[in-house]
Amino acid sequence: MKITLNPHRGGQKLAGSAPYPSINAARVADLLAQCPAAGETALVDAKGLADVANLWVKDERGRMNLGSFKALGAAYVIARHAADVSDLPAETTLSGRTYVTASAGNHGMSVAAGARIFGADAVVYIAETVPEGFADRLRAQNATVVRHGVDYAASMQAASQAAQDNGWTLLSDSSWEGYFELPHTLMEGYLQMAAEAVRQCPEVPTHIMLQAGVGGLAGAVAAYARHVWGDAPRIIVVEPDAAPALQASIEAGACVFADGPDSIMGRLDCKEPSLIALNGLARDADVFLTLTDDEVAQHLPAMSEAGVATTASGGAGVAAVMNPDVRAELGIGPDARVLCFLSEVAE
């Protein structure tokens, strides 16, 4: 466990050319209202898992039947493109258009599902280490799957090159210099779960735990929480100690590459942050916390027994508040009201 207090809170951007995350949740809700699968997910009170007054868990496992909050990301971008050219819904609206991405998990499913719904094609690059079962799930959504490279970075580079070579639309869930428009819209889609959580929480949380890979979920939710609740909640970002990209960038005062070994928190195992998310979290988050694989894995059985089974990636925020040492260090006492996000189904 390592804790870094954010010295940039409320201050200047760390990635000056990148925008802050969107807070326009109404725009998202208006579009999703036209989607029959876009039902609200539950807020579960799992206070039995930790010595706190309330442990509210926003359960994203059933989001749009894709098993992850990522259903609100890439598929939302594709739906926005479809809405720009036609009334929704329409199964052939984007016929002839191809979206390409790299993925080691749920983002690829969101791209594939969104493309299928609106008649576009999807090409998803995956590394050699990605299980074939995930490739089969992508193919079930009519995606073309291409294996390339030994890791995500190599498959992302191949996807980017394919987009340039073929005139395809590159749809990443991260952002970098010169690539902001689509990931900004993608992160905007995540506001739907933030807005639902705000409506569902019976009181303002004292603490919000947000697990992060490149930072899309954390950046979007933190921005909206500050917009609605102001400074009332203390916002804590949780990362694997093997991939402390946001924590290291906050400490450096600039975007940095934070290399390390592989983590069981695979969807959070990202070595470089999204610039949009970094700007937002430098402004909005109070604390950056890294946990070891063991510090997360030890709590997964209890989470499963409590009805909130998930992966190490999906439950890192919940695991953090279950850890008595974390609670002591962060001042999370018996009267605390903690909001967490369960971001994906168990594997």
199 Cβ contact list (under 8 Å, min separation 6) = none
73 phi and psi angles, rounded to 5 deg? -95, -90
| Residue 86 scores a pLDDT above 80 | no
pLDDT score, position 90: 65
User: How far are the Cα atoms of 23, 247, 261 from residue 258, in angstroms, in the given order?
Assistant: 28, 9, 10
Q: What is the mean pLDDT of residues 163-187?
A: 97
- pLDDT at residue 199 is higher than 70: yes
* Residues 21, 186 contacting (CB under 8 angstroms): no
**What is the model's pLDDT at position 258?**
92
Strands of the sheet with 337-342, listed across from one edge:
2-5, 287-291, 234-240, 207-211, 337-342, 54-59, 43-45
In this predicted structure, what is the pLDDT of residue 57?
Answer: 98
Comparing 336 with 38, which gets the higher pLDDT?
A: 336
Highest mean pLDDT among 95-104, 149-158, 216-225: 216-225
Q: What integer pLDDT is reported at residue 35 of this predicted model?
A: 78
pLDDT of residue 75: 93
pLDDT value, residue 347: 78
Whether the pLDDT of residue 88 is over 80: the answer is: no
Averaged pLDDT of the chain: 94
Mean pLDDT confidence for 309-331: 97
Q: Is the pLDDT of residue 99 over 90?
A: yes
**Residue 266 clears pLDDT 90, i.e. is over it:** no
